[in-house]
Amino acid sequence: MTQPGRFGLDVHNNYVFSGRATPDYSGEQPPSHVYRLTPELYYGVLDELELGMYLLTTHSAAGETRYDGAKVRLKFIAPHAADRGAFWGLNFELGKTAERVSGYPWNMELKGIYGYRASGWLFAANLNIDRSLARADVATVELDTKLARDVGHGIELGAELYDELGRVTDPGPLPQRSQAAYAVLDTEIGGIEINAGLGWGLTHAADHLVLKFILGHRF
């Protein structure tokens, strides 16, 4: 969370080295060899409330760069100790994306946030519900978790799991959903926050090898 009255910028970079090369639906851009660049600008409204916006772009395997839409978000994190104990919050997103990245362009997401810090360890979890605004029956759920260890010198090493659970009304079967694991590093250099990770798919539905690299700065 950034301080009230201050802006911040995160630049999300993702590249799929190996992944699905055939579309799941007509008009989709398969993720294999696609680079995604997503600037995220945010503003501190209150100590516990932050307003943000994502701008989505992709660079395809064929060399085409395209703008893929925007999302706005509102994030709330309850007051908590910065270096120990539990924290929780909610994140709400609303936006419209290009058909090549989503079969249902108008969509919203509600993300539940929970975490706990103790003795240099961090555990965090997000429970995400995504819902199409065009079709009320299209709502999916995902559980993302992270475990990280502070190894000193301002460096955290850890693992992240991204688990699609399927439709809210009919979850599973999990082996047919996208399940992925990432080895990650978190640190800060010269006021620039860094989250870097290398991920691999645990099921056939997931991309096989993905690099992510997020740079953040608070102004």
The domain spanning residue 90 has which CATH number? 2.40.160.40
What is the C-alpha separation between 158 and 151, in angstroms, rounded? 10
User: CA 7 from chain center: how many Å?
Assistant: 20
pLDDT of residue 106: 92
Residue 65 in domain = yes
Query: Strand 209-218 and strand 192-201: pairing?
Result: antiparallel
Instruction: Assign 25 to helix, strand or coil.
Output: coil
Instruction: Assign 174 to helix, strand or coil.
Output: helix
Amino acid at 65: T
Question: What's 4's DSSP letter?
Answer: B
Asked if residue 10 lies in contact with residue 216, where contact means CB atoms within 8 angstroms, the answer is yes
Q: Dump the DSSP string for 93-120.
A: EEEEE-TTT-SSSEEEEEEEEEEEEETT
Residue 95 in tokens: 């936006």
pTM above 0.75, yes or no: yes
User: CA 11 from chain center: how many Å?
Assistant: 12
Residue 169 in domain = yes
Question: What's 2's DSSP letter?
Answer: P
Q: Which residues of 150-188 are buried (b: 16+ CB within 10 A; e: fewer)?
A: beeeeebebebbbbbbeeeeeeeeeeebbbbbbebebee
Domain that holds residue 129: 7-218
Residue 2 in domain = no
pLDDT of residue 209: 98
pLDDT of residue 210: 98
Per-residue pLDDT of the chain (219 residues; tens, 9 = 90+): 999 999 999 999 999 999 999 998 888 999 999 999 999 999 999 999 999 999 999 999 899 999 999 999 999 999 999 889 999 999 999 999 999 988 888 999 999 999 999 999 999 999 999 998 987 778 999 999 999 999 999 999 999 999 999 999 888 788 889 999 999 999 999 999 999 999 999 999 999 999 999 999 999
pLDDT digits (tens, 9 = 90+) for 140-196: 999 999 999 999 999 999 999 999 999 998 887 888 899 999 999 999 999 999 999
Residue 53 in domain = yes
Residue 1 in domain = no
pLDDT of residue 122: 98
Residue 190 in tokens: 């010269």
Domain count within the chain: 1
